[in-house]
Amino acid sequence: MARFKVSFSTLMLILGLLFLYIPMAILIFYSFNASRLVTVWAGFSTHWYVELFRDQQLLSAVWMSLRIAFYSATMAVCIGTLAAFVMTRFRRFRGRTVLSSMITAPLVMPEVITGLSLLLLFVHMAQIIGWPADRGMMTIWIAHTTFCSAYVAVVVSTRLREVDLSIEEAAMDLGATPFKTFFLITIPVITPALISGWLLAFTLSLDDLVIASFVSGPGATTLPMVVFSSVRLGVSPKINALATLIILAVSLIAFIAWYLMRRAEEKRRQMIQE
């Protein structure tokens, strides 16, 4: 009986992983297809990759998306870390419930609602204070920062809860200000969480189509918008080539992050043993 149950869940795990990875493997495989028809194999070719790098509109959208993702992730780490710090270190204060719901709600809020509500905010702000006059990179940056902060707050607060409070207390007993303690003790200890929070925010921002579509103006076209308008018309091998590059880049970054974290973990374990 015991044996059967273990093998059932293990079997499900293997099947589940296959389910997650087979479609992506197919996508990569057909990106090297010479034929325009995605489902008919006509020989190996890197033609679609060449085509991809000739597409000026696409390349400028990539550049736009990367810049927005960089700025959004950076700002989201600042705001999310502060929010996580408040939630884990401040005991009781007014507005705690409001803050904690504003951190958790964006995690599940349907994107169409977030997008619409932010657009209406920007429209009202433009009417009342005259800013933002144009919607574009700036408004997408604000929108992405807002929902990414919530994710960063969750990642960072998990780490903050694990940190040994006695180190922070010792620093303050020895006369360090809370400000100094935060920068000299807390920040270095939670750096891995800050990095993974930043990376998560970066990928979330890079990936967002719906919210960006609502708050963007005519001047700012991000990569998901270009991909979406192309995909809507049907399957295209060029998108497969793009998908392959994205999957490759993400896997590479994930592998490096995983490797670095493992090494840090091993080092820490060694230090504890010594």
Partner 1 sequence: MSTWIKLLRDKLPQGRTLVFGIPFFWLLLFFLLPFALVLKISFSAAIIAVPPYQPVFSYVNDTFNIILNFGNYLFLFSDSLYVAAYWGSIKIAFISTLVCLLIGYPMAYAMAKAPLQLQLVLLLLIMLPSWTSFLIRVYAWMGILSNQGLLNQFLLWLGVIKEPLRLMNTNFAVVLGIVYAYLPFMILPLYANLVKLDRTLLEAASDLGSRQINTFWTVTLPLSKGGIIAGSMLVFIPAVGEFVIPELLGGPDTLMIGKVLWEEFFNNRDWPVASALAIIMLALLIIPITLFHRYQAKELEKNG
Residues 227 to 256: which contact partner 1 by CB under 8 A?
227-228, 231-232, 234-235, 239-240, 242-243, 246-247, 250-251, 254
Q: Which of 45, 23, 24 is nearest to 34 (CA)?
A: 45
Angle of helix 56-89 relative to helix 96-108, nearest 10 degrees, comes to 150
Q: How far is the CB of 166 from partner 1 (least distance, A)?
A: 13
68: its two tokens: 């927005």
Nearer CB in complex with partner 1: 11/50 = 11
Of the candidate spans 25-33, 46-54, 129-137, 185-193, the one that interacts with partner 1 by CB under 8 A turns out to be 25-33
Whether cis (ω within 30° of 0) applies to the bond prior to 132 is: yes
Nearer CB in complex with partner 1: 112/170 = 112
Residues 160 to 199: which contact partner 1 by CB under 8 A?
161-162, 177-180
Applying CB under 8 A, which of residues 148, 214, 216, 241 lies at the interface with partner 1? 214
Q: How far is the CB of 90 from partner 1 (least distance, A)?
A: 7
Q: How far is the CB of 249 from partner 1 (least distance, A)?
A: 9
Interaction of residue 212 with partner 1, rule CB under 8 A: no
Q: How far is the CB of 103 from partner 1 (least distance, A)?
A: 7
For residue 142, with 0-12 CB atoms within 10 Å meaning exposed, 13-18 middle and 19 or more buried, which class applies? middle
Interaction of residue 206 with partner 1, rule CB under 8 A: yes
Nearer CB in complex with partner 1: 54/266 = 266
3 state SS of 222:
coil
C-alpha 73 chain-centroid distance:
8
Spell out a b/e string for 236-260, using b for 16 or more CB atoms within 10 Å of the CB, else e.
bbbbbbbbbbbeeeeeeeeeeeeee
Residues 72 to 131: which contact partner 1 by CB under 8 A?
78-80, 82-83, 85-88, 90, 93, 95, 98-114, 116-118, 120-121, 123-124, 127
Nearer CB in complex with partner 1: 57/104 = 104
Interaction of residue 157 with partner 1, rule CB under 8 A: yes
Instruction: Kindly report the number of other CB atoms within 10 A of residue 132's CB atom.
Output: 16
Asked if 140 and 66 touch (Cβ cutoff 8 Å), the reply is no
